[in-house]
């Protein structure tokens, strides 16, 4: 918005209400708002507070300063509203506001939109009253079923909220991850594979012991309870399986010692019995513990080789390699492996890109938060040859680039590219030198981009047009 348009945004609404804005105040507002992130909403709030402190029908610089100025006005409003709340409502307000903050990790803290269901903190009426009060004070906004802080400045400028965030920063990070995991679990029909285990479950229990479960939504509590129950069942199962395996080993050893003094026919008969018990136990354990069933199959293989046993071992190996990644709320539409052979990127119709460590202890656990693109479905993914750059393309011609050197927190580079006439981008590829990006789309063209500065890609020449209406794939020669 130009400086003249900003001036109109200050003066015209006031004039429509029969008010006059002092020239000194207009000039000061223009200087403070111009190029300031989130400046317009802050200006609107500051003018409303200036109107409340006015004398007569003129909005003066003195009244503006009394109201707190550009950032001070919203902070002053926030502190006044919080001070009017009783202790129970003040605690609800603290929990609501913290849920609307995404704590940074070496980056600034930011606003975070949340669905209404995520703000279900047990006291429905109390929470509704707090939300209504904060919305009326123009501290929160409601939009399409989501709630969000109205001003990013609240996070940095309001000392009370700043103090809450700094005190609970590590806990907030655990909570944000828990909320996302619970939402994924629900979207997958509460599939066991999406539950927490290991260090993530331990971190969640440490951050939210039983007496603090009231700070979680019902879905988050159910997710944590299901994860805990699954861990207990796994511990019980491992103990039972270890005992069974020990018993079988003892039986096999005892049978071998006794067989030394028996005739060949009796030894073969007893070996067959032990073999049958081991393979039967392996078959029983196969649906719940593939690694242990495979160990039993290998033990049986040392006694006898049969086609059925080899088939079982092949099946076990296939199961170990076949891991379903519960990452997207909709259909998965694109995948790409990084050159390190460990990191997998997946894109889906939910407009997100997830990263996975396929060599980790739990390859089903995504790395960090989902990456988002504009334009719906993710149609194509590609890594640069050195693995430092990740490219994703969407169905509206949008192309997004990230610095992928930190696998858990890829950093977006520049603004999304828009190409191919707004039609779907069907394929992307990076040249072996990592300096040129090729894209193909449903507009029947192939385009080349100079990505030596990936934050500012530039087109190389005119698009190349194919003989068909759509180019389905593109690739560079090695």
User: Which residues, 6 or more positions from 327, have their beta carbon under 8 angstroms from its beta carbon?
Assistant: 184, 346, 348, 352, 354, 356, 366, 370
Question: Hey, which residues does 76 pair with through a beta bridge?
Answer: none
Question: What is residue 321's predicted lDDT score, i.e. its pLDDT?
Answer: 46
pTM for the full predicted model: 0.43
Total Cβ atoms within 10 A of residue 161: 23
pLDDT over 50 (residue 121): yes
234-253: pLDDT as tens digits: 777 767 666 667 667 666 66
Q: Which residues contact 161 (CB under 8 A, 6 or more apart)?
A: 78, 97, 101, 154, 155
Instruction: For residue range 279-318, list pLDDT tens digits in order.
Output: 777 777 666 666 667 767 777 777 777 777 677 666 666 5
Which tens digit of pLDDT belongs to each residue from 376-400?
A: 788 899 999 999 999 998 877 788 8
What's the confidence (pLDDT) of residue 200? 86
Encode pLDDT of 438-467 as tens digits.
999 888 889 999 999 999 999 998 888 887
pLDDT of 260 strictly over 90: no
pLDDT in tens, 152-179: 878 877 889 889 988 888 888 888 888 8
Domain boundaries, the chain: 3-67, 332-465
What confidence score (pLDDT) does residue 401 get? 92
- Residue 294 burial (CB < 10 Å; 0-12/13-18/19+)? buried
What is the rounded distance in angstroms from the CA atom of residue 163 to the CA atom of residue 159? 6
Domain spanning 332-465, CATH class: mainly beta
Query: Is residue 322 classed as helix, strand or coil in its secondary structure?
Result: coil
């Amino acid at each position: 918005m130009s400086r003249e348009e900003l001036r109109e945004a200050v003066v015209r609404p006031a004039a429509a209400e029969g008010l006059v804005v002092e020239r000194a105040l207009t000039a000061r507002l223009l200087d403070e708002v111009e190029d300031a992130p989130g400046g317009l909403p802050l200006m609107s709030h500051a003018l409303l507070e200036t109107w409340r402190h006015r004398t007569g029908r003129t909005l003066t610089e003195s009244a503006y300063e009394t109201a707190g100025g550009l950032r001070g006005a919203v902070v002053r409003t926030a502190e006044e509203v919080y001070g009017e709340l009783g202790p129970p409502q003040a605690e609800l307000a603290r929990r609501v506001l913290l849920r609307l903050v995404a704590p940074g990790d070496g980056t600034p803290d930011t606003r975070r939109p949340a669905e209404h269901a995520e703000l279900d903190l047990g006291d429905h009426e109390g929470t509704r009253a707090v939300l209504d009060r904060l919305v009326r004070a123009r501290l929160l906004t409601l939009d399409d079923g989501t709630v969000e802080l109205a001003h990013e400045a609240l996070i940095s400028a309001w000392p009370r909220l700043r103090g809450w965030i700094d005190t609970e920063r590590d806990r907030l990070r655990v909570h944000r991850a828990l909320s996302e995991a619970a939402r994924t679990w629900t979207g997958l029909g509460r599939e066991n594979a999406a539950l927490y285990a290991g260090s993530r479950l331990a971190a969640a229990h440490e951050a939210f012991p039983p007496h603090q479960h009231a700070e979680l939504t019902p879905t988050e509590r159910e997710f944590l309870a299901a994860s805990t129950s699954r861990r207990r069942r796994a511990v019980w199962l491992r103990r039972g399986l270890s005992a069974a395996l020990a018993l079988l080993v003892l039986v096999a050893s005892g049978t071998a010692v006794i067989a030394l003094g028996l005739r060949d026919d009796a030894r073969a008969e007893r070996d067959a019995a032990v073999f049958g018990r081991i393979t039967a136990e392996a078959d029983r354990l196969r649906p719940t513990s593939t690694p242990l069933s495979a160990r039993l199959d290998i033990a049986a293989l040392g006694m006898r080789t049969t086609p059925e046993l080899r088939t079982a071992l092949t099946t076990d190996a296939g199961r170990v390699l076949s891991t379903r990644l519960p990452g997207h709320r909709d259909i998965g539409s694109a995948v790409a492996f990084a050159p390190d052979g460990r990191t997998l990127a997946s894109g889906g119709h939910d407009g997100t890109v997830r990263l996975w460590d396929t060599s980790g202890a739990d390859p089903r656990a995504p790395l960090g938060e989902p990456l988002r693109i504009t334009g719906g479905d993710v149609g194509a993914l590609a890594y640069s040859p050195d693995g430092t750059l990740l490219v994703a393309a969407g169905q509206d011609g949008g192309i997004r680039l990230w610095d992928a050197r930190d696998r858990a927190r890829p950093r977006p580079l520049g603004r999304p590219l828009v190409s191919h006439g707004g039609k779907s981008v069907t394929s992307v590829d990076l040249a072996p030198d990592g300096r040129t990006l090729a894209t193909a789309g449903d507009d029947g063209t192939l385009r080349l981009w100079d990505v030596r500065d990936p934050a500012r890609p530039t087109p190389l020449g005119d698009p190349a047009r194919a003989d068909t209406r759509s180019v389905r794939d593109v690739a560079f020669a090695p």
